Chains A and B, each alone.
Chain A
């Protein structure tokens, strides 16, 4: 439903499975399916997930099917940082957490890249920071070029301008050093009687590490005696280990006094901070006061928290995040495993080694009004979009639908549209010429050198909207006329068209309900050279022609209906 009508969308055949219905409706649906009367409804909520612009679609030559992003398998060619464009080897990926470790940071406020820079040492109003004493200790911070955020706002400054990620990982917001599990272990080694650190110093990572080591200890403890007995080396008593195992079965209990009484093989729960236990901090009056003081501006918006690794509430809890890496992916057909798209390995290159885009295999469809209301735009102002006036309800208007054939064979196109579009406000649609042939995409000069015989065939185009006739025909394109009577968008009028006894949905207009969309079923037939390269029959019918067809639903976005 791109906003700038007119447009066309194509439904990938992979998602045209029959819609799931209740058992009751299913029977009715079956009846419809068997008659091939099923009409695709572009306004159904599920339609958004299966419709693609032509440019998004690929084509598998082997299966001769359209392939959408859903029905391809992907393989990653390279990982790279979008900011510094450096390639990251896949072995480093896990340890680096899918993020760039080369000083590429994003501003937590506005997500633009931040850069390390010197902090002006003495904010001397007379000097504009030009002549600072070079001997003085210089500290660095990250600065956002766009929104002027700097990491000194959250109390983080660095000693060196390089190796920011390592430095940042060691500091908490506010400048305090971050306590990691490793630190704790070392501290414990030096001073075994030290009480566990206070709960408010424990952050998510530390608690997770504590929990992990706690569970690992517990698991190995509890499986120590009995666990090894049962599963260590399988069943059977042939080995000496098994013998000693049986011996310990009866003595183990007595041999180890600690284990005997207590439940030996259940894990206990965490008891202290070192085990990962953390008492919840219930008293949040300080935060409430902070909220009162700072108000709206002090808090973090939804987008900002989502970009953070850990959820944050106040602005000073935000941290700059490292850029997430991106990937270049090659795509394979999910059915036949043939590669249908493969980009070049180099990060900076935008070229593809293989790319079978659907635009080269299926006709592109465009739609424009027969009598445009918008005046053309001057060449100088070209990127501007000319916006058509909204369609007048209940007044017929005509559109030209153009099919352009990219194939080197001429194709036979059969179109079908429902008489009235599905949905609450249904428009009447008439295709003046539902069956026609589009010539092959031959060389431009061939066209000029053609003899008269071919020209005669083109006489069916008359430049007028007439039933059963093509509107216009060119080298590899054909235009036909589509007539539409848009509905009135008044909710009150719904009663008039509704069948008696049917409930009428009189809720106000929903988003995009005023856009006229026409589902159209397109069926293409053409004859291509048979692809029997590998099989033995190749020699025999070398120039045998093979009939092919492709059928899919597409959606024509005609325009906006006026609200009068």
Chain B
């Protein structure tokens, strides 16, 4: 299977008052077309920075981007090339975020927001049909189109955000902790929805999460990030069964300990390097 995304040795640094601070020091990731890949790691390990780099959301300067190679759908690109990356937004890459309320415009009805995204690619005539199609796709009732974001529940907001992201038929959906802000039952619904969408649309998924369970549920492959590096990757099953890196082991232990109700967690010596 061809890769929709390959990124080798990405480095993202920020110039902060003359100091150069690495947010991502060495990350490599590969997403097969139509595949689903998980990216796990603790807070501050660089997961979200990686996603924001892919969407071209970092402003340079202060960010400094370097990558050995970066290719989208087999085409090689410069990582710092904003113009090229912005052409990918929407129809190649789309993104959903952690906190759906702050990612929806509070003054616009949901239907209008979906419409805005649809208009970018479809003609005027098909818009209404497409909006209702998208609402169906994420299992939202049609009346939601006339609602404002604050009138919806957390799960419905995430569905609305998904509908907007899917409006341009992306080839790869980046989901940055899409379930973190939701309660447990809603989390499961959103995960089920993501799996279903992937199957129906044949779209690739990059799921960024610190929740190992959701990654295990949804992904074929997993990358583990620690301190700005991707330290381990492989098929989900293998990594979870026999982790080779010490950090992955303690990450898995922590998750298991939490479930079995053990009170004292194993800690790892050392800290994230700050200040590069």
**A and B associate in one complex:** no
Chain A residues near B (Cβ < 8 Å): none
